[in-house]
Chains A and B, each alone.
Chain A
Amino acid sequence: MIPVCPTTALPPGEAIRVDGEEPIAVFNVDGDFYAIDDTCTHQDASLADGWIDGCAVECPLHASCFDLRTGKVSGPPAKTPVRTHRVVVQDGMVYVEAGIAADGAA
């Protein structure tokens, strides 16, 4: 598990990027945490910099939308989904299990 940050450092409506070979973006939607691949599948942009709208994030460059729960494209121009990653909250810390698909909110 990759430690991300204390829960208090990621308030609702905010996102954080976890750098790595394949960066991951972690989102707080009204207290539920979601993690997806950070790089938009359309063109190079960081989804952690995007706009959170309900359970979707809008890419800051071309406004492609991805469902944070499933990684599926909910608005063009992106054509392919992003991967989801499982988020674990333990003792006030947020962790991601990179490569393990999420099955819902943490």
Chain B
Amino acid sequence: MSFLEIHHVTKEYSGFKALDAVSMNIEQHSVYGLLGPNGAGKTTLIRIINCITAPDSGEILLDGKRLHAGDINRIGYLPEERGLYKKMKVGEQALYLAQLKGLSKHDAMERLKMWFEKFEIQAWWNKKVEELSKGMQQKVQFITTVLHEPELLIFDEPFSGFDPVNADLLKREMLALRDKGATIIFSTHNMESVEALCDDISLINKSQVVLQGNVHEIREQFRSHIYRVTIAGTEHADIARLPFEILASEQKNRNTELRIQSTGLSANECLKSIMETHSIVAFEELLPSMNEIFIQTVNG
């Protein structure tokens, strides 16, 4: 049984289908990537999981039980369109948002202290939000999202607006939360972070799931038998005679780097045929990046 099960969820807005029989299973303690172009229906799905809107049909099970409004205290949500009250003080505001998530004032205060120390931002407590930079505000938002220790965390484009240092901090915190037992849904256009963080993904296009599964398995599935071979020396007049197609050839230092694609031969057989005439420095299969898979799938 998965932690979050989504069964045939459909949602329609006066004639426009935002989600069409979408199903997915999200395992506990995993990072689940929700991918798709703008307008595909990701945000609608996320809002349904957050009980902001209700599906027209289909059902969602959290921990085996049908999702209900009371579950929102078990969920932490960092929306793509996010912000804070500009005129309110940072501490007051964090306390307010925490209380709305059902924390008592006392608990919220203690946890906030802990997080403010961890991020070294205690000095901001009495500052007004408008005095903070956008990156600083994002840190506060991150804290308010995770403060009530939700079992399910949903991040919609979490890295937008973060500088690389803070983006890295955020990544580490996300993984730390997962290791502590949280399940994370992560929606982004940044495919590199998908490869780095996600265990499984769903790719939604035009309201339907078009690709789903383990990130590694998907990349294997999309393999096109392209290898990168580095051979010693720069003069190789005879490589054209090798029994596979050469996509690119580039001289690097005193070596030559080739990108080859073989449809008939296995990797071993390719290696064998190169070894007969050249000395090999490196050999590696090139799995397609999530970015390529994304573009290829969406453009269909």
User: A and B, one complex?
Assistant: no
Residues of B within 8 A of A (CB): none
Residues of A within 8 A of B (CB): none
